[in-house]
Amino acid sequence: MLFVISGPSGCGKSTLIKEVRRQTAGLGFSVSHTTRTPRPSEKDGVDYHFVPVAKFERMARAGKFLEWARVHGHLYGTSRAEVERRRPERDVVLDIDVQGARQVRRKVPEACFVFIMPPAAGELRRRLKKRGEDAPEALARRLRDARAEIRAYPEFDYVVVNDDLRKAVEELRTIVAAARLRPAARSAALRPILGSFTSRPADRPRTGKGRP
C-alpha cells in the first residue's frame, strides 16, 4: 500500500510522518530527489537525495520518476527505484506536493491519499518562521503558494487538521490502520480463507440422516 501525504509547506507533514512511523510497524519512507539546496539540519540520502538540475532532468527524461513536479521554484521527484527499495517494509509513505499526488492518483489509483491542513494561515506562518530554516523570500513564497495548495483538499481520501500534534498523529495512525483493511491490501490474509471455500464437496465432513 502506498500512502501519499500532501499539504502546504510548514503544515507539519515531516513531523507527523516521523512520529507515525515511530509508532507504526511496516511503514517505509520514500526519500525524494530534489534540486533545492539542503537546509542546515538536512542530510543527503536521509531527508532528500540532493541533485543538480542536469541530473534531475536526465532522470526525468529516462523515465526514472513515478512522479515529479516543480514546487516553490525547485524540482522534486519520487524515483521508482526508491519506492521499490522500500517495498519489503510492507507499506511506503510519500511526502509530495499536490501536483505529484495527482500524478500518483493516475498511476496508482488504489493508493491512500491524505491531505494535512494547517489550523490557520497565521499558525502556518508561525511554524515556518519557527522552523527557521528557509530564507525570508523562500518563506514568503511558501506562504503564497499555500493559498492555492489548500484548495486541492477535496481531491484527497482523508483530511487531517494538524492543530494538536498528538490528535493529528492519532488520526493519521487511524487512517493507516483503516487503509490496511481495504480489500486490495488483504490478499495475503484472505488467500487461505478463500481457498478453504473452493475445496471439493467430498472433502467436507458429511452430515445428515442415514450416514454413519
Rounded to a whole number of angstroms, the minimum distance from the CB of residue 142 to ligand 5GP is: 7
Indicate the DSSP class of residue 206. Answer: P
In this structure, the dihedral spanned by the alpha carbons of residues 172, 162, 46 and 50, taken in order and rounded to 10 degrees, is 130
The residues near 160 (Cβ < 8 Å, ≥ 6 apart) are 16, 114, 115, 116, 117, 168, 171, 172, 175
If you ran DSSP here, which 8-state letter would residue 48 be given? B
Contact between 24 and ligand ADP by CB under 6 A: the answer reads: no
Residues 160-199 that bind ligand ADP (CB under 6 A): 162, 165, 168
Residue 9 contacts ligand ADP per CB under 6 A: yes
The residue number with the shortest CB distance to ligand 5GP is: 100
- Which is nearer to ligand ADP, 168 or 176 (by Cβ)? 168
Give CA–CA dist 122/104, Å, rounded.
30
Q: Does 99 bind ligand ADP (CB under 6 A)?
A: no
Indicate which single residue of 11, 20, 138, 139 sits in contact with ligand ADP (rule: CB under 6 A).
Answer: 11
Which positions ≥6 away from 195 have C-beta within 8 Å? none
**130 interacts with, out of ligand ADP, ligand 5GP, none, CB within 5 to 8 A per kind:** ligand ADP
Residue 6 Cβ vs ligand ADP, minimum distance, rounded to whole Å: 9
In the block, residue with C-alpha cell 527505484: 81
Which own/partner contact pairs does 52-61 have at CB distance under 8 Å and 24+ positions apart? 59/33
Q: Choose, by CB under 6 A, the member of 22, 43, 106, 130 that binds ligand ADP.
A: 130
- Beta-carbon contacts of residue 91 (< 8 Å; ≥ 6 apart): 1, 2, 3, 26, 27, 28, 176, 180
Using CB under 6 A as the binding rule, whether residue 131 contacts ligand ADP is answered as yes
CB count in 10 Å sphere of residue 167: 12
CB nearest ligand ADP: which residue? 12
Applying CB under 6 A, which of residues 6, 10, 98, 115 lies at the interface with ligand ADP? Answer: 10
Return residues touching ligand 5GP (CB under 6 A): 9, 32, 36, 67-69, 71-72, 76-78, 95-97, 99-100
The answer to whether 100 contacts ligand ADP (rule: CB under 6 A) is no
Strand order across the 158-161 sheet: 27-29, 91-95, 2-6, 112-117, 158-161
Identify residues 108-127 at the interface with ligand ADP (CB under 6 A): 127
Q: Which residues bind ligand ADP (CB under 6 A)?
A: 7, 9-15, 127, 130-131, 162, 165, 168
